[in-house]
Amino acid sequence: MVIIFSLFFCLLFFGKPIYSQNYSFSLLKTIFSFIGAVLFYFTDYYVLSLCEHYYPSNYKNTVVKGFFFSIMFWLLGKVIYSYGLYFNLLVMFNFFICYILGAYEEKNFTGPLVYLLVFVAPLSTLFGLDPIWKDQYSFFSMSSEILSYYYIIFGVLIVFYLSYKKRSFEWSQQN
95 falls within a domain: yes
13 falls within a domain: no
Q: What residues contact 93, with CB distance under 8 A and at least 6 apart?
A: 70, 151, 154, 155
CB 66 within 8 A of CB 57: no
46 falls within a domain: yes
Question: How many CB atoms neighbour CB 162 within 10 A?
Answer: 20
Give me the pLDDT at residue 42, please: 93
Name residue 156's amino acid: V
Nearest to 116 by CA among 136, 96, 134, 133: 96
Name residue 63's amino acid: V
Our count of domains for the chain comes to: 1
What's 48's DSSP letter? H
170 falls within a domain: yes
Domain with 132 in it: 26-174
Cα(158)–Cα(18) distance, rounded to whole angstroms?
A: 27
Q: What is the number of residues in the chain?
A: 175
Please tell me whether residue 140 adopts helix, strand or coil conformation: strand
Q: What is the pLDDT along the chain (175 residues), one digit of tens a residue?
A: 667 777 777 777 777 778 877 777 778 888 888 898 899 899 989 998 888 888 887 777 888 888 898 898 888 888 888 777 677 788 888 898 898 888 887 767 888 998 899 888 888 888 877 887 777 777 888 787 777 777 788 888 888 888 887 777 666 666 5
56 falls within a domain: yes
CB 138 within 8 A of CB 126: yes
Name residue 155's amino acid: G
Please state, in angstroms and as integers, the Cα–Cα distance from residue 27 to each residue in 82, 119, 163, following that order. Answer: 27, 19, 40
Task: Please report the sign of the dihedral spanned by the C-alpha atoms of residue 92, residue 96, residue 99, residue 102.
Answer: negative
37 falls within a domain: yes
4 falls within a domain: no
What's the helix, strand, coil split of the chain in %, to 5? 70, 5, 25
